[in-house]
Structure 1
Amino acid sequence: MTFVQLIDCKTSRLDDMNRLMDQWVEKTKGKRTATHAVVGKDRSDATHVIEIVEFPSYEEAMRNSNLPETDRIFREMVALCDEMPTFTDLDVVRDEPLQAAAARRFFDTVAVQGPLPPLNDLIAENYHDHDPANEQDTLGLDNMRREIEMWRSAFDFTFMIDDQLTQGDRVCTRWTWNGIQTGEFMGLPNTGRQVSMTGTTVFRFDGDGKLREGWWQYDRLGLLGQLGALDELEK
């Protein structure tokens, strides 16, 4: 079970505290078990600082605490605080990666059978799409809908999510696309062939939690080869 520790302290020496944390990161390289750390400063009291450190489990957190480097840094941290810091130990009982879920919902929604939903709850009106297969970027929700409809008119397809990584306002999704050609695609007549390709999409989210920008990389050449578009070139 994921474990989180909150360290609550009062200090007027935040810069020194940050330098101390940098030292800890350097000194515990290859040893520490912490997976994520966030430091927040109270907007109403600049001396009130909270550090949030995440571990895979309570046991891993205890291993981290027993490192001599952690003990030394802790003692130096206490010396920088105006008063003794307090610690809150939390077992994580719910963890919702909301942006990753929204990205996953996009892939599920565009592949659904029947009429394409409006998508305005997923994609921002001023969406900007980067697809190296297109000569120009796709700008705006309406144009993105047309791009999606082009694929839907040519294939019945599904996405399988292979992996997702989240950082800040961006979610990277590695996917596998499986489809059956049902219509013309890039001037190629309908073959009825079953095809597949792999790719990666990075979405940037806006403050409302909607897709604001996207970058695509996928094996379009491999797809064209499966549709027979490269047969003449191989002769």
Structure 2
Amino acid sequence: MTFVQLIDCRTSRFDEMNRLLDTWVEQTRGKRTATHALVGKDRSDASHFIEIVEFPSYEEAMRNSNLPETDRIFREMVALCDEMPTFTDLDVVRDEQLNRGVAREFLEGLGRGDVDRLFERVADDYVDHDPANPQDTGLRAARDEVVGWRRAFDFSIRVDNQIAEDDLVCSRWTWHGRHKGDFLGIPATGQEATMTGMTWHRFRGGQICEAWRQYDRAGLLEQLGVLAQ
């Protein structure tokens, strides 16, 4: 179970503390077990800071605490605080990365459901980057492309893995379809095909506003018998 520790402290020497944290990161490289660290400053009190540190489990957090470098840095950190910091230990019981969920729903919905509803979570000024198109396209072109793929194939998309950072979500996916209509001038073959790909989505205000895609188009054409193996 993911474990999170909140370190609540007050200091008028944050620049020194920030450099100390950089030192800890450098000294524990290859040994620390923390997977994510975030420091926030209280908007109503410039001396109040909270560090949020995430670990894969409580046991991994204890391993991290027992590193000699961690103990030394902690003692130096306490010396920079105006008062003794407090610690809150949390087992994570719910973890929702909302943008990641929207990206998954959008990709998995490409092969089914209503196109209008599908694009409700896409911004009006959406920009699409597709290696198959010489120029970036917008929302209308993206909708038309989805309609074109649906006319050409009965298909589904399975999201295999996702990572999220800031306003970006990367999804690795597998596409499987049956060729039922014209595709790039290729008449329906009835052939089933599979291809893999990856999509980066950028979000703004909970909506997809930009996307970059890479997928095995040549492999798809090969399975349709257009390209020689």
Q: What range describes the TM-score normalised by the shorter chain of this pair?
A: over 0.9
SS of equivalent to 1:174: strand
Q: Map Cα deviations across residues 11-60 of structure 1 (whole Å, 9 max, x no partner).
A: 11111111111111111111111110000011111111000000111111
Question: Distance in 2 between the 1:164 and 1:120 partners?
Answer: 20
- Identity fraction in percent: 64
* C-alpha distance in structure 1 between counterparts of 2:226 and 2:191, whole Å: 12
Q: Structure 1 unaligned segments of length 5 or more: list them.
A: none
Which residue of the partner structure matches residue 209 of structure 2? 212
Q: Are the structure 2 counterparts of residues 120 and 197 from structure 1 closer, same or farther at C-alpha, using a change threshold of 3 Å?
A: closer
Inter-partner Cα distance in structure 1 for 2:72 and 2:120: 50
Of 223, 227, 233, which residue of structure 1 is paired with 2:224?
227
Report the counterpart of residue 165 of structure 1 in structure 2: 163
Distance in 1 separating the partners of 2:80 and 2:20: 10
Query: Is contact 1:2-1:57 (8 Å) kept?
Result: yes
For the 8 Å contact 1:154–1:185, the answer to whether it is kept is: yes
Q: Which residue of 2 aligns with 1:9?
A: 9
> Pairwise mapping of residues 109-120 of structure 1 onto structure 2 (< 5 A)?
109-112=109-112, 115-120=114-119
Q: 1:198–1:218: 8 Å Cα contact kept in structure 2? A: yes
Q: Which runs of 4+ in 1 moved over 4 A?
A: none
User: Match of 1:118, SS?
Assistant: helix
Aligned length: 229
SS of the residue aligned with 1:121? helix
Is residue 144 of structure 2 the alignment partner of residue 146 of structure 1?
yes
Q: Is the CA contact 1:129–1:213 (under 8 Å) kept in the aligned structure 2?
A: yes
Paired with 2:81 and 2:137, the residues of 1 have a C-alpha distance of 52
Tell me the residue number matched to 2:28.
28
Q: Normalised by the size of structure 1, how large is the TM-score? A: 0.94
| Aligned-partner Cα distance in 2 for 1:30–1:145 | 46
Name the aligned partner's letter for residue 134 of structure 2. Answer: E
Do 2:157 and 2:174's aligned partners in 1 also have CA atoms closer than 8 Å? yes
CA contact (8 A) 1:41 1:50 kept: yes
Distance in 2 separating the partners of 1:136 and 1:105: 26
Contact 1:109 1:117 (8 Å CA) reproduced:
no
Q: Does the CA contact (< 8 Å) of 2:193 and 2:223 recur in 1?
A: yes
Please report how far the alpha carbon of residue 119 of structure 1 lies from its aligned counterpart in structure 2 after TM superposition. 3.0
Is the contact made by 1:155 and 1:183 (CA closer than 8 Å) also made in structure 2?
yes
In structure 2, the gaps of 5 or more residues are none
Query: 1:120 offset after TM fit, Å?
Result: 4.0
Aligned to 1:19: 19
> Aligned AA for 1:127?
Y
- State TM-score, norm by structure 2: 0.97
The Cα of 1:214 is off from its aligned counterpart by 0.3
Q: CA deviation at 1:226?
A: 1.1
Q: Is contact 1:181–1:190 with CA below 8 Å preserved after alignment?
A: yes
Whole-angstrom distance in 2 between the partners of 1:67 and 1:154: 58
Contact 1:7–1:51 (CA<8 Å) still a contact in 2?
A: yes
Residue pair 2:3, 2:92 contacting (<8 A) in 1 also? yes
